[in-house]
Amino acid sequence: MSIEIVKNYFKSNNIDKEILEFPVSSATVELAAQAVGVEPARIAKTLSFYTKEKDAAILIVTAGDMKIDNSKFKHFFGLKAKMLAYDDVEPMTGHAVGGVCPFGNPDHAQVYLDISLKRFDTVFPAAGSSNSAVELTCDELEQYSGAKEWIDVCK
């Protein structure tokens, strides 16, 4: 299970944060917001896209109320935004659909954080399963995810 990957990732990186596990699904922004008890915008959703070579994933963590702006994405990455096919999600991100997160990913996955998250003191990304999350500040999210950089690719 990929939640175990995240737990091991946290342990091996000395990240002392409680991973919240819910008795209900948190696989979508709306379900996660209900499970955590926050507004949907504070859910840090991780969207997964193909790289130009289609051999790795670009992971963009954004606020739950935002959508990818295709022109901004193309300007930044130099390619059209194409989300991973269902069957490619787990092999390319290390996590199944509904639990994709910016922790414990394969080395070739590239993590970016969208500036839409910065309006919140804390956010809640998934923690590797469709019924988990972890509360982090934006600085913690940046540090723990190993993100390449903060970007502006949403509308």
**Which CATH code is given to the segment(s) 2-151?**
3.90.960.10
Residues 6+ apart with CB under 8 A from 84: 48, 49, 50, 57, 92, 93
Spans of all domains in the chain: 2-151
CA 109, 115, 118, 120 torsion: positive or negative?
Answer: negative
- pLDDT band for position 1 (50/70/90)? low
Report d(CA 106, CA 91) in Å as an integer.
Answer: 9
- pLDDT band for position 2 (50/70/90)? confident
pLDDT greater than 90 at residue 7: yes
Instruction: List pLDDT tens digits, range 49-107.
Output: 999 999 999 999 999 999 999 999 999 999 999 999 999 999 999 999 999 999 999 99
